Amino acid sequence: MNARSLSYLLVLFFSAISGQVLAAPFQMGTATLDITPPVGYRMSGYFHERLSEGIKDPLLAKAIVFSQGDTVAAIVCCDLVGIFNEVAHNSRQLIETQTGIPPSHVSITATHSHTGPLYFGALRDHFHAVAVARDGTDPHEQFDYPSFFTQQLADVVQQAKENLADVTFSAGCGHEDRIAFNRRFLMKDGRVKTWIGLNHPDVIGTAGPIDPEIGLIRFDSSAAQPLALLSSYALHLDTVGGTLYSADYPFYLQEALARHYGDHFVSLFGIGTCGDINHADTQAKERNKTDAIGAMLSESVLAALPILMPSAEASLAVKHRVIHVPKQEYSAERVAQAQLDMAHVGDRTVETMHRVETYKIVALEYYKQATVPLEIHAFRLSPDVAIVTLPGEVFVEFGLHIKENSPFDTTLVIELANAAPGYIPTKKAFVEGGYETVNSRVAPGGGEKMAASAIELLQELKP
């Protein structure tokens, strides 16, 4: 027994004889590992084949581990477009072996960077099969990225656990409404189109809200030194483009926080529910560039840090649930046609929505049952502060709904966790149409069930 556990036992003993119940110390640890693939690997984010040609800034996996008494939990934020469910499964098995943290207490999330590797899914499998048929081997996958990434995830959580130390934390929200825009537009005929723009003569207005809230939890050492910030904001990470690897705008947030607090400071960014939110201000002449978006977000984060509420009493707990929602159904003929059309999925001369639907129908075949599993985590850090993680590209309406109905003062809702089931639109959006509903695999109503389950988990966690 080390000195720390001995002193904790003594605290327990004296609190027992004095009739007081004292909480165990709350600890936090972070670690960062590089997950950048070799240059030449395929890149994700679009429907055509795109090869990486260099590195703008490195892709990172950042882990945060929480511990209090017997409860240990971890969240990992990765600069990737999404998390392959097999990697989420295998890495969490490995994490349990290496650290003892059970899979139900670990959430692996992606930030949705569109300038990272295309390492899984129907599109990757298609380009890979074409390369193998042509060359006998895939020249762009001479490196087993899923295996590498799986091991990095286990190692980064292990390192974060080794860095556990007593901390205090404060939480609250910042406000940023200059860089996020709802990208769905209501047309005169009652339909909705994505990426049309307010200036189009047939557009009546935007079809949904944005979420200007920046969820913030800052962790300080017991000597009051700021150590790390977990932040969450709902804005699609597709602001860079090109063929250089990049973490997109969260890179600039990390840089700004390091300038403010020192190089030791770790910025963990969890992407908010931004299925229908992007950075295109369709009334502006030019789109904001990544560095400008990062600078504005950083400015709003830094402005909010002094007003965060210190959490008086930590009480770590985790709830975890997998729900199964119906998947979209297509006839055998339509599936067979999509499998044929897949040959042209990367052909930019073919109409985009046709390629998107082709890809989606083929991707649906990856599910062996009639349902799509959706895994939800809820982490309570204190009676006032909670974090929810959800799979998929979730519509902003669901994040807003979960936060409005959360019994916690501060709730961070982070999407793209542990699997990649595509877009999760609202029932209303399915009626309206638009790109996101074409590129979704769950049947209408699945998102509403997922949001209701998340709220239930939060209510169960409220002390």
What residues line the site for Zn ion (CB under 5 A)? 393
Measured between alpha carbons, how far is 364 from 372 in angstroms, rounded to an integer? 9
State the CB neighbour count (10 A cutoff) for residue 223: 6
Measured between alpha carbons, how far is 150 from 89 in angstroms, rounded to an integer? 9
CB of 275 to Zn ion, least distance (A): 7
Q: Report the Cα–Cα distance between both ends of the chain, in Å, rounded.
A: 31
Question: Which residue's CB comes closest to Zn ion?
Answer: 393
CB of 153 to Zn ion, least distance (A): 22
CB of 34 to Zn ion, least distance (A): 24
Nearer residue to Zn ion within complex by CB, 213 or 393: 393
Nearer residue to Zn ion within complex by CB, 101 or 234: 234
CB of 439 to Zn ion, least distance (A): 8
Measured between alpha carbons, how far is 157 from 159 in angstroms, rounded to an integer? 5
CB of 452 to Zn ion, least distance (A): 24
CB of 274 to Zn ion, least distance (A): 8
For residue 232, the Cα-to-chain-centroid distance in whole angstroms is 9
Asked if 435 and 194 count as a contact pair (C-beta separation under 8 A), the reply is yes
CB of 41 to Zn ion, least distance (A): 20
Nearer residue to Zn ion within complex by CB, 384 or 393: 393
Measured between alpha carbons, how far is 411 from 414 in angstroms, rounded to an integer? 10
Nearest one of 178, 411, 176, 412 to 304, comparing CA atoms: 176
Nearer residue to Zn ion within complex by CB, 274 or 378: 274
Residues of the chain by 3-state class (helix, strand, coil), percent to 5: 35, 30, 35
Nearer residue to Zn ion within complex by CB, 152 or 273: 273
445 phi and psi angles, rounded to 5 deg: 105, -20
Amino acid (one-letter) located at 280: A
The string of DSSP codes covering 272-318 is -S-TTEES--TTSSSPPPHHHHHHHHHHHHHHHGGGPEEPS----EE
Nearer residue to Zn ion within complex by CB, 40 or 45: 45
Nearer residue to Zn ion within complex by CB, 114 or 401: 114
Nearer residue to Zn ion within complex by CB, 234 or 381: 234
Check residue 117 and report its DSSP letter: B
CB of 441 to Zn ion, least distance (A): 14
Query: What tokens appear for 374 in the block?
Result: 């959706």
Nearest one of 271, 216, 251 to 393, comparing CA atoms: 271
